[in-house]
Amino acid sequence: MGRFWPASRERGGFGSRPAASNSLGKVVLTRYTDTPMIRENQVGAYLGPAAGLQRRWRLEAAGPNFDVLANDGARVILGKCSRLPDDEDPGRGRYGIDFHRALPPFTGDSGFTCDWGEGPIPVNAQTYAQFLPRTIRFRQFTANMAFAAATVEAYAAKRRVYEAFYRQVYDAKEPLVVAVPHCGPVYRPADDYHPFPESEIDAWTARVAVRLQAPWGGAARRLLLSLHSTDYFGALLDIGDFGLPANRVLPALAARLNEEFNRELAALTPAYREHILNYTHQRLAWKQQRWGTLHPEALAHLSTASQFEVKILDGFARDFLRDGERFTFAGLCRGLEAYWAAGRQAQVTVNGVFSGRKTAKLLNLAANLRQAGLATAVQVEISRFLARQAPELAAAMISRLLEFLAWKLP
C-alpha cells in the first residue's frame, strides 16, 4: 500500500507513533511512562484532565457534560454525561444524553413506536420520560433517542447541550476529530430495569483517545473517528463503516491490521478468551434467571436490549449447536466455547459488533461530513479488555487505520 507516514513528519507532537521499518514490519509500541494525561475511576470512566495533559493537549473547554482537548493534529471531545436518560443532576447542569442517537422531538411523531404488549406508543422525549425507568429496557427508545424530557424546559436544556457537542465536532478545523460520546461516569444505582448501569460506560476509551497519533500532514484528508468500547462477544477491535462509500476499503485495511499486529494480538488472545467467555456466561446466567427465557420472541416484550444481545451471541454459536440447543443457556455457552475452539476468532473485524449504519441515518452523518469538510468517518469499538490492558496497542492500531484512510481513500 506504499508509504504511510509522511517523510516530513517529526516525531512527537500528537503522541509518539510506533516505529516500523515498513508497513508490514514489526511494530514497536511506545509506552507512555510519564505523568498521566487524564484521571479515571476504578471502572474506566473519564473524570477529567491530569497533570500531564498539557504536554500533548490543550484543554479548550470543560463542563459537566463534555470536555474538549485539542492540539495541531486533532480535536477530541470526551462525553462526560451518562447516556442513561435518568442518570442526571439538573442542579449541576449534568444530563442523561446519548450523543450517538437522534435529537428527539419533544412530542409527536419521531418515526418510531414501541409496543411492550399494551399497544403502540409514540417514541419521543416526553414518552421516554413518562415511562421511565421501564423505557430503558426497550431499544425503540435507547437505540433511537438521545434523551428523555418530561417538560419543555428540560427538553430545551438538553437540546442546547446536544447541539453544543456537535458544534465541537463539525466546526473543528483540525485534521482529525475524535468523538468519544460516552466515556464519563455513571451514578445511577442498579435496579430491576438496569442491573448493570456501569456497562453503559465506554470504559477506558479516554486513555486510548489521548494516545492516538496524528498520521498525516499537508493535504491529507480530514477524518472523524467515533470511539467506543464494548464487552459484547467478538473481536478485540471492530470497525464500523457507517455505510459510507469511502469506507469500502475497510475490509482490506482490517486484514492489514490483523497481519501487522498479529504478534501483539496473539499474545493477548488467551487472556481475552478467558475474560470474554466468563463475562458472557455471567450475563447469560443473569438473563436466564431474570427473564426465565433466552428466546428472542419471548424477550421482545420483556427486554429488547436482552433480545439484541442474545441474537448477537446466537450468530457466533449456532453453527456449533445440536437440534433444540439454540436460545438455551447450556446451548449458547457450549456454542461459544466451540466457536473459540474452532479458531474462527478474528481480532480485527469490520461491522462485526455495530456497523454504525443506523446511527449514520439518525445523525444525517453523510451530509454533515460534507458540510464540515471531512472525507469520511469510522466507528471503532474497542474491547474493554484491550483498552484497559493495552491502551498503547489499541491506540497504535487505530492510528494505523486512520493513517491508511487519510492517505489511501479513493
Tens digits of residue pLDDT in 117-135: 889 999 999 999 999 999 9
Please report, rounded to a whole number, the percentage of residues in the chain having pLDDT higher than 70: 90
Question: Mean pLDDT of all residues in the chain?
Answer: 88
Q: How far apart are CA 115 and CA 39, in angstroms?
A: 42
- Interhelix angle for 329-341 vs 304-317, to 10°? 40
At 301 the pLDDT is 86
- Does residue 20 surpass a pLDDT of 60? no
Q: Quickly tell me which residue has 409527536 as its cell.
A: 108
Residue 77 CA to residue 84 CA, distance in Å, equals: 19
Give the tens place of pLDDT for each residue, 330-345. Answer: 999 999 999 999 987 8
CA-nearest of 88, 49, 59 to 206 is 49
Q: What is the pLDDT averaged over residues 210-224?
A: 77
Q: Is the pTM of this model over 0.75?
A: yes
Residues near 277 by Cβ (< 8 Å), separated by ≥ 6?
336, 337, 340
At residue 18 the predicted structure's pLDDT band, cuts being 50, 70 and 90, is very low
Strand partners, 78: 67, 180
Is pLDDT above 70 for 329? Answer: yes
The band of 23, judged by pLDDT with boundaries at 50, 70 and 90, is very low
Q: How far apart are CA 16 and CA 210, in angstroms?
A: 11
**Three cell numbers written together for 401:** 487505520
What pLDDT was estimated at residue 43? 95
pLDDT tens readout for residues 261-289: 999 999 999 999 999 999 999 999 999 99
Would you state the pLDDT for residue 288? 94
Residue 39 cell numbers, joined: 484521571
- For the stretch 39-65, pLDDT in tens is 999 999 999 999 999 989 999 999 999
For the chain, which residues make up each domain, given as ranges? 1-97+160-261+347-410, 262-345
Note the pLDDT of residue 86. 96
